[in-house]
Chain A
């Protein structure tokens, strides 16, 4: 009886979490389009990536599989590189500098 209650609770919590993540990504898309400065857009895109990692983790809980753990790690690494590229573009104007002054 307790296990049945646990399964139902997990399903309901997963659905609530998916909906919350979707609303969060929707609001972040609005911020990425309307952001007054480029730094706001950079933060919005970075946070969208974190939400993507969260959704992948929730999907792996719902599908009861561990195949998606690599995907979470890969999204995190590529997000890190993208954030560094945007930060360097905002600060220096070039991403790969050709010669040191």
Chain B
């Protein structure tokens, strides 16, 4: 198979992947009171990774991002569980959330919520599960030589 000339795709991916990662962080912190939150932030991060996988191929990105995405999903679930158990430690019901306003030296008054910890867990679970599903479908193959490719 001849190598297609995809210079435009490679050039735009360099720009758009970083735009997507920055936008996902913005969406993650915009949650609760505006459109955003852990789920859609995680999906945007996964979209950026998948764009890089589509452009540069599986092997190259595997070298650049040596991340075990199944482990990320499990760590996210653990963070979510611990944020629920933390409420029991303060004598509240499981998964109770609270929030308060704090003053920071440069940033000024900010609204901090413990739901952000729960959201961080959701973010990691969504990134891990999405990439695990898509990469295990994409690297599925009949011949046995690719057995160690499994995500």
Contacts and interface: CB of A to CB of B under 8 A. Distances in A.
A80 B23 contact: no
Contacts of A81: 47, 50-51, 54
A98 B59 CA distance: 6
A98 B40 contact: no
Contacts of A96: 50, 53-54, 57-58, 134-135, 138-139
Given A80-B16, A84-B51, A70 B57 contact: no
Interface in A35-54: none
Majority secondary structure, B binding face: helix
A94 B1 CA distance: 12
A15 interface: no
A77 B48 CA distance: 10
Interface size bracket, B side = 20 to 34
A99 B9 contact: no
Contacts of A99: 57-59
A101 B59 CA distance: 12
Interface in A62-88: 67-68, 70-71, 73-74, 77-78, 80-81, 84-85, 88
B20 interface: yes
Contacts of B54: 81, 84-85, 88, 95-96
Interface of B: 1, 3-4, 9, 16, 19-20, 23, 27, 30, 34-36, 40, 44, 47, 50-51, 53-54, 57-59, 134-135, 138-139, 141, 146, 149
6 contacts: A81-B54, A84-B51, A84-B54, A92-B4, A98-B57, A98-B58
